[in-house]
Structure 1
Amino acid sequence: MSGGAAEGWTLKQIAHDIPLTGSAREVVELGQRLATMRGAPRTDPEHLLEAMVLLPKNAGHRALTALNANIDALRQSPELDATVRAAPAPIGTATRYLLNNAHREAEQIGHYQVDPVHLLLALLYKDSAGTAERLEAAGLSIYAVRQYLTAPGSMSKDARRRPLPSLAGAVRVSPVFAIPVGAAVVGGVGLWTGIAPGLTLPLSVLLVVGGWITSLCIHEFGHAFIAYIGGDRSVAAAGYLSLNPLKYTHPVLSIALPIVFLLIGGIGLPGGAVYLNERAIRTDRWRSFASAGGPLGNLLFAILIGWPFLIFQGSPPFGDIHFWAALAFLVFLQFTAIVLNLIPIPPFDGFGIIAPWLSIELRVLANRLGMLPLLLLFYLLWQGGPISATFWNFVYSLSSLLGVPDYLVFLGQQQF
């Protein structure tokens, strides 16, 4: 952490290391203002105690009242107005230690965030002699506060709620991501202008393949992003939050098979490989949400590139038809990926969504099947019949909801 004993710390710097509830922030912020109003160079523990006394609706003040502390004896003279605005004084070393102690108390009880009652407990520590003596003189003891902490209903739900992690420094867009994006842009510009009719095929390949790899990165980023928010910090270290396609590669599934299926079948095969630490994700709901993050990424990408079709309900009246055809095909591929991924069989995301709610026996049995369900599904789609017809009709119906005409999808597939 930047800052130090000489200049103190800001609340933002403190909160980076110590998770504070809104009520605890309120106490610290008022304490900083009170320090300034009293001409103190830094915020000391005495200022936090004074702030707690001046905030009757705060959890710390309620604890003082519930424990029959002599609040009048804790008031400072002259008493300041808590509503007066003042610049916050930096947080001093003594207060930094006090906040560390409060955090340690919270962790020992199993609380994820520091609440004003944890601050009150730390104010009774002997290394904060000034506040400890005043609180003890007012009739308070560490034992009484600890008893209060463990009493049912005494603590806010915020203290028990694990805070969402900061994304600062976790999300870093890799320059490698510019390669597929750049390829798609080059192909798109070439098709849009129509200046090289003889290059329609390579330009279409650039747009569609570049766009597909871009969507693959967004798909895998969606998994990793939600997993990170849900508690799995390993995805940041693995580079999954960088949008770098090289971080998501599986030798066969990520590159070879998706491109082959694009070239011969027009199917957006879900590729990529993001390995999540499911034990680190806080709940089954978050595990399901992390599995759904990939298809949600495809949906957002489809809307991002397909909004002109929705506005004009068909091919927009500008640009070259070959551009709109290739773009329509790329949108269509997003919906094939979404539908495929939501099928609840391994290794698709649909199975990952329901897996946390299944018995261990069912999950083990499903995982033993390996790639067999995937191969069987593609065989059925390839051979035609009712399953294939139902799948493609559903994908076309989803594309039509975004205003993508079927004939443009067909034209885009042909020129690709």
Structure 2
Amino acid sequence: MFRTLDPTSIIMILPGILLGLTVHEFSHGYTAYLLGDDTARNQGRLTLNPVAHIDPIGFLMLMFAGFGWAKPVPINPYFFTDRRKGTFLVSIAGPASNIIMAFLLTTLLGILMRTTGAGFAVQQVILSAVSINLVLAVFNLFPIPPLDGSKILMSLFPSRFEETFYQIEQYSVIILILLLVFGVIRNVLFPIVSALYNVLLLYLSMIVF
């Protein structure tokens, strides 16, 4: 379930973890801000400082279990003109930002390999960051409270179902633990991430060659 990392491996994956978590939560907060909710800004979360967004348990899980989460940015949907549309846009902004970041990092690596012949260490750091961003995007799209996927799903359902979602959210930790213990998350998450990663590797090869 958990992996053992040597110091070199930690150095390789740490930049990607910090980048992925920061971009994900900043995107939530900034999208909410654009839609009229300045809660994140008022609480100092509208920042690219990774320290503001790290959840200790989620950070360690991402490092040693291969998936994890950041400290959620506070959002108040009642500031949105259209609460359901606003919730959808804010929720999907995090995973979307990670997908975009993975694409941009792949593009950067391709340019470096084509122009300067990026060294092995640089390649591994960037590829790790690509993988981590994909993990964050896919994991957060799981329709399990309090992950982004559940909020996206809730915004698409009639408002009468909101109370049901909130009731399920009370048991979110238990649900996540059970899914982790029985391998459901890994069996669903990593095949999807692997498929997306292979698509980006194909894109990388098109840039380099």
TM-score by length of 2: 0.79
Correspondence for 1:226 = 31
Matched, 1:259 2:57: no
In 2, Cα distance between equivalents of 1:223 and 1:260:
21
In 1, Cα distance between equivalents of 2:129 and 2:92:
21
In 1, Cα distance between equivalents of 2:110 and 2:85:
32
Matched, 1:337 2:136: yes
In 2, Cα distance between equivalents of 1:404 and 1:327:
15
Paired AA for residue 324 in structure 1: Q
**Identity of aligned pairs, percent?**
23
Structure 1 pair 310–372 and aligned structure 2 pair: CA distance change class (3 A): farther
Paired AA for residue 41 in structure 2: A
Q: 1:275 aligns with which of 67, 74, 83?
A: 74
Paired AA for residue 106 in structure 2: G
Whether the aligned pair in 2 keeps the contact of 1:310 and 1:403 (CA below 8 Å) is no
Paired AA for residue 148 in structure 2: D
Correspondence for 2:41 = 236
Paired AA for residue 301 in structure 1: M
Deviations 1:44-91 (A, max 9, x none): xxxxxxxxxxxxxxxxxxxxxxxxxxxxxxxxxxxxxxxxxxxxxxxx
Correspondence for 2:10 = 205
Return the offset for 1:292: 0.9
Q: Which has the larger radius of gyration?
A: 1
Whether the aligned pair in 2 keeps the contact of 1:209 and 1:259 (CA below 8 Å) is no
Structure 1 pair 228–212 and aligned structure 2 pair: CA distance change class (3 A): same
Correspondence for 2:200 = 402
Return the offset for 1:232: 0.5
In 2, Cα distance between equivalents of 1:234 and 1:271:
17
Q: 1:355 aligns with which of 147, 154, 176?
A: 154
Return the offset for 1:213: 1.1
Deviations 1:288-308 (A, max 9, x none): 110111112211221222215
Whether the aligned pair in 1 keeps the contact of 2:138 and 2:193 (CA below 8 Å) is yes
TM-score by length of 1: 0.42
Paired AA for residue 351 in structure 1: S
Correspondence for 1:346 = 145
Deviations 1:126-173 (A, max 9, x none): xxxxxxxxxxxxxxxxxxxxxxxxxxxxxxxxxxxxxxxxxxxxxxxx
Deviations 1:92-111 (A, max 9, x none): xxxxxxxxxxxxxxxxxxxx
In 2, Cα distance between equivalents of 1:207 and 1:299:
20
Q: For structure 2, which runs of at least 5 residues remain unmatched after alignment?
A: 1-5, 204-209
Correspondence for 1:380 = 182
Whether the aligned pair in 1 keeps the contact of 2:20 and 2:132 (CA below 8 Å) is no
SS in 2 for 1:399: helix
More helix by share: 2
Correspondence for 2:173 = 371
Deviations 1:199-254 (A, max 9, x none): xx6454234212311221111010001111111122221122222233324xxxx1
Whether the aligned pair in 1 keeps the contact of 2:61 and 2:67 (CA below 8 Å) is no
Correspondence for 2:86 = 286
Structure 1 pair 342–389 and aligned structure 2 pair: CA distance change class (3 A): same
Whether the aligned pair in 1 keeps the contact of 2:45 and 2:73 (CA below 8 Å) is yes
The two structures, once aligned, show a CA RMSD in angstroms of 2.6
Q: For structure 1, which runs of at least 5 residues remain unmatched after alignment?
A: 1-200, 406-416
Paired AA for residue 152 in structure 2: I
In 2, Cα distance between equivalents of 1:389 and 1:248:
27
Structure 1 pair 286–260 and aligned structure 2 pair: CA distance change class (3 A): closer
Whether the aligned pair in 2 keeps the contact of 1:328 and 1:404 (CA below 8 Å) is no
Return the offset for 1:404: 6.5
Paired AA for residue 231 in structure 1: G
Whether the aligned pair in 2 keeps the contact of 1:227 and 1:276 (CA below 8 Å) is yes
Q: Report which stretch shifted further, 349-358 or 275-284.
A: 349-358
